[in-house]
Amino acid sequence: NAGVMQNPRHLVRRRGQEARLRCSPMKGHSHVYWYRQLPEEGLKFMVYLQKENIIDESGMPKERFSAEFPKEGPSILRIQQVVRGDSAAYFCASSPGPLGQQNTEAFFGQGTRLTVV
Partner 1 sequence: QQQVKQSPQSLIVQKGGISIINCAYENTAFDYFPWYQQFPGKGPALLIAIRPDVSEKKEGRFTISFNKSAKQFSLHIMDSQPGDSATYFCAASWSAGANNLFFGTGTRLTVIP
The identity of residue 73, as a single letter, is G
Q: Is 43 in the site for partner 1 (CB under 8 A)?
A: yes
Q: Compare residues 2 and 14 and give the one whose CB is closer to partner 1.
A: 2
How far is the C-alpha of 117 from the C-alpha of 74, rounded, in Å? 27
Q: Which of residues 8-37 bind partner 1 (CB under 8 A)?
A: 33, 35
Please name the residues in contact with 63: beta carbons below 8 A apart, sequence gap of 6 or more: none
**Of 84, 66, 62, 70, residue with least CA distance to 21:** 66
> CA geometry: angle at 25 spanning 19 and 29, to 5°?
145
* Range in contact with partner 1 (rule: CB under 8 A) among 11-19, 67-75, 78-86, 101-109: 101-109
Q: Which of residues 50-79 bind partner 1 (CB under 8 A)?
A: 55-56, 58-59
Q: Is 111 in the site for partner 1 (CB under 8 A)?
A: yes
Under 8 Å between Cβ of 29 and 94: yes
| Distance, CA of 55 to chain centre | 14
* Range in contact with partner 1 (rule: CB under 8 A) among 13-21, 61-69, 75-83, 108-116: 108-116
- Residues lying near partner 1 in the complex (CB under 8 A): 4, 6, 33, 35, 40-45, 48, 55-56, 58-59, 91, 98-101, 105-111
